Structure 1
Amino acid sequence: MRKRMRDTPNRDRPRERLAARGPQALTDTELITLLLGRGTAGRDVWQVAGDVERCLKRAERSPSYDDLLEIDGIGSAKACEIMACFELGRRYFGDDGVSGSRITRPEDVLPLVAEWRDKKQEYFVCITLSGAGEVIERRVVTIGILNQSLVHPREVFSEAITDRAASVILVHNHPSGTLDPSTQDLGITRQLVEAGSILGIRVLDHIIVTKNGYASLKELGHL
């Protein structure tokens, strides 16, 4: 069970974590606690935030005013603030089909790398993710035959650090059409997992794609 906010060490509180690492590093619940500010008599802010998060997950897009008011601890003012945040995000940032996409399984990655699946050269792509598992950005790290000198941790993680990413998913295509990971693929993956561990940025998966399919090294037991 999560500690009450007043019992949470300062360094682990959402406000301090956001100041130190940026909003991308926070979970949905932590972001909601920042909007709420505090809980109510008998209900810690973490409890109220958890109910709000469940409400957001049930909603197809932004939550309704009435749905938010049904949550114990949410009054008219807070319901309006939450809805205003959603509307500002919609107006200013919209949906580019990449940023904000939630990755929960390897198949979710495929639309993000569709343009590289049938290339005649190997493209190595790094997808950075927030603490909530949402896509921050996708970038081509290198083009050509993969080897450990080209796919260096410095090249992979420099932008991930700039993004304040919590994790990354690695993707590269096989022009040959085979989905079997090569010895080189496995070596690169091990090297990047170790580097990410030191930096505090998890490598969630390394996915090989072709025109007709994909292979997840995590599902294959290599991560």
Structure 2
Amino acid sequence: MRKMRDIPDRDRPREKLAKRGPQALTDTELIALLLGRGTKGRDVSEVAGDVERYLRGTGGKPSYEALLAIGGIGSAKACEIMACFELGRRYFGDDDVTGTRITRPEDVIPLVSEWRDKKQEYFISLTLNGAGEVIERRIVTVGILNQSLVHPREVFADAITDRAASVILVHNHPSGTLDPSVQDLGITRQLVEAGSILGIRVLDHIIVTKGGYVSLKELGHL
């Protein structure tokens, strides 16, 4: 992990947040921003990394005593972290999609289950923040039978508005086949290239049917 002093000013958490919003920051960057500085012999990035690894296994319920056991975390910082989690719990909405963390294709399927057996082709975009959590789920286009025409501007206009760090694309095949078509592969390449220019990564393109799903990333097309 790079030390904070070795990171260019424009890529440091505070500058990154001011320019792109908090959604663009990773968990470790958000924690580093909260901590502000490290301690003697421990860079803030190192401390933030240790805190992030601890928080990952807490289920959103960190312990004050456990935070104090992390090198570089004193009472004041432990209290600030606990306060952030409590505020998050108090203000967190009831949306069953927003905030869902995506780590693998299987995590996406419950979020798009209502479109798996549609008679028309639906093209859906999930925008994600820097922590891999869903910001919004949107229908981009609705096609006819087995064809859905998608333009990059339709996918990335909302992603830019969301200040998304990445997107996952999903569409259904009314025919029931999971084989990606030539058109599927072509639009995927086009969207990956457009996302690269905009700084919004296309993490995956998933095809779903009533009987299953296939990830173009796992097939090696991304």
Where does 1:103-182 land on structure 2 (aligned, <5 Å)? 103-145=102-144, 150-182=149-181
- CA drift of 1:41 comes to 1.3
Q: Which runs of 5+ in 1 are unaligned?
A: none
Secondary structure at the residue paired with 1:219?
coil
SS at match of 2:100: coil
- The residue matched to 1:179 in structure 2 has which SS? coil
1:49 partner letter? A
Q: 1:92 to 1:29 in 2, by over 3 A?
A: same
Q: Aligned ranges for residues 184-195 of structure 1 at < 5 Å?
A: 184-195=183-194
Q: Please tell me the root mean square deviation across aligned C-alpha atoms, in Å.
A: 1.4
How many aligned residue pairs are there? 221
In 2: Cα distance, 1:203 partner to 1:12 partner: 21
Shift of 1:8: 2.5
1:42-73 Cα deviation digits (max 9, x unpaired): 11111110111011012122211111011111
CA contact (8 A) 1:17 1:26 kept: yes
Q: Measure, in 1, the Cα distance between the counterparts of 2:4 and 2:218.
A: 37
DSSP 3-state at the match of 2:174: coil
- Residue 193 of structure 2 aligns to a residue whose secondary structure is helix
Corresponding letter in the other structure for 2:23: Q
CA shift, 1:125, in A, is 0.1
Residue 91 of structure 1 aligns to which amino acid in structure 2?
Answer: R
1:23 maps to a residue whose letter is P
Alpha carbons 1:147, 1:188 under 8 Å: kept: no
Could you say which residue in structure 1 is the equivalent of 2:33? 34
The alpha-carbon deviation at position 198 of structure 1 amounts to: 1.1
**Which whole-Å CA distance do the structure 1 matches of 2:124 and 2:67 have between them?**
39
Unaligned 5+ runs, structure 2: none
TM-score (norm 1): 0.94
Contact 2:121/2:147 (<8 A) preserved: no
| Conserved? CA contact 2:169–2:205, under 8 Å | yes
Identity %: 82
Deviation per CA, 1:161-216: give whole Å up to 9, x if none: 11111111100011111111111111111111111111111111110001110011
Give TM-score, length-normalised by structure 2: 0.95
Shift of 1:7: 3.4
Cα distance change, pair 110–23 in 1 and its aligned pair in 2 (3 A) = same
- Aligned-partner Cα distance in 2 for 1:54–1:108: 21
Residue 89 of structure 2 is matched in structure 1 by 90
- Aligned-pair CA distance for 1:147: 5.4
The 1:94–1:86 alpha-carbon spacing in structure 2 relative to 1, beyond 3 Å, is farther
Which ranges of 4 or more aligned residues in structure 1 deviate by more than 6 Å?
none
3-state SS in 2 of match to 1:62: coil
Q: Which residue identity lines up with residue 121 of structure 2 in the other structure?
A: E
Give the whole-Å Cα distance in 2 for the aligned partners of 1:7 and 1:210: 47
Q: Which residue of 1 is the match for residue 207 of structure 2?
A: 208
1:8-43 per-position Cα deviation (integer Å, ceiling 9, x unaligned): 221111000000111111111100011101111111
Relative distance call for 1:158 and 1:171 in structure 2 (3 A) is same
Q: What SS is found at the alignment partner of 1:181?
A: coil
Q: Which amino acid aligns with 1:151?
A: V
Distance 2:168 2:125 in 1: 6
